[in-house]
């Protein structure tokens, strides 16, 4: 069963653009060869780390969104673990979050429909008498 995942990984700040592209293409190939599908790759650029990791204060952030199985996630994590320029990585399953957000949106839409179907009577402003017609 294919599920949606996001894989954020941080590489060394001195890594060249060509090496980044090679690493990304290797991961994309691993996803497609395992029957998954790459949705999006986003290079977020160089950012300051919250704390020092392996003597680095900065890192290049890359976000990979894909669909695949749990075994594919384990394989990608294994590859990132043994890749020397990768400082940190984190994989997150996003389909459950999307399902939750869709449910909240459906509830809000249902509330809007019920509130517009039965308009509330507008109260008259305080202190004013209704206008008399003659």
**Domain extents for the chain?**
3-96
Pick 111 or 116 by higher pLDDT.
111
Question: What pLDDT score was predicted for residue 132?
Answer: 61
DSSP-assigned letter for residue 105: H
What residues contact residue 108 under an 8 Å CB cut-off, 6+ apart?
A: none
Question: What pLDDT score was predicted for residue 79?
Answer: 94
pLDDT band at 126 (very low <50, low <70, confident <90, very high): low
Question: What pLDDT score was predicted for residue 124?
Answer: 59
Does the pLDDT value for residue 125 go beyond 80? Answer: no
Question: What pLDDT score was predicted for residue 97?
Answer: 78
Give pLDDT tens digits for 25-75: 999 999 999 999 999 999 999 999 999 999 999 999 999 999 998 899 999
Does the pLDDT value for residue 93 go beyond 80? Answer: yes
At residue 28, the 3 state secondary structure works out as: helix
Question: What pLDDT score was predicted for residue 25?
Answer: 95
- pTM of the predicted model as reported, rounded to 2 decimal places: 0.72
Alpha helices, DSSP H, located in the chain: 17-33, 70-82, 95-117
pLDDT band at 102 (very low <50, low <70, confident <90, very high): confident
CATH superfamily, domain 3-96, is Ribosomal protein S6/Translation elongation factor EF1B (3.30.70.60)
């Amino acid at each position: 069963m294919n599920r949606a995942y996001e894989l954020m990984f941080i590489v060394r700040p001195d890594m060249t653009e060509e090496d980044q592209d090679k690493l990304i293409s290797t991961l994309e190939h691993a996803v497609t060869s395992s029957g998954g599908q790459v949705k999006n790759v986003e290079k977020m650029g160089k950012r300051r780390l919250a704390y020092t990791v392996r003597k680095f204060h900065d890192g290049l952030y890359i976000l990979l969104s894909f669909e695949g199985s749990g075994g594919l996630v384990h394989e990608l994590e294994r590859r990132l673990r043994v890749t020397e320029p990768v400082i940190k990585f984190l994989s997150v399953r996003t389909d459950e979050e999307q399902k939750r957000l869709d449910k909240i949106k459906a509830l809000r839409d249902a509330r809007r429909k019920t509130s517009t179907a039965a308009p509330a009577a507008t109260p008259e402003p305080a202190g004013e008498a209704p206008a008399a017609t003659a």
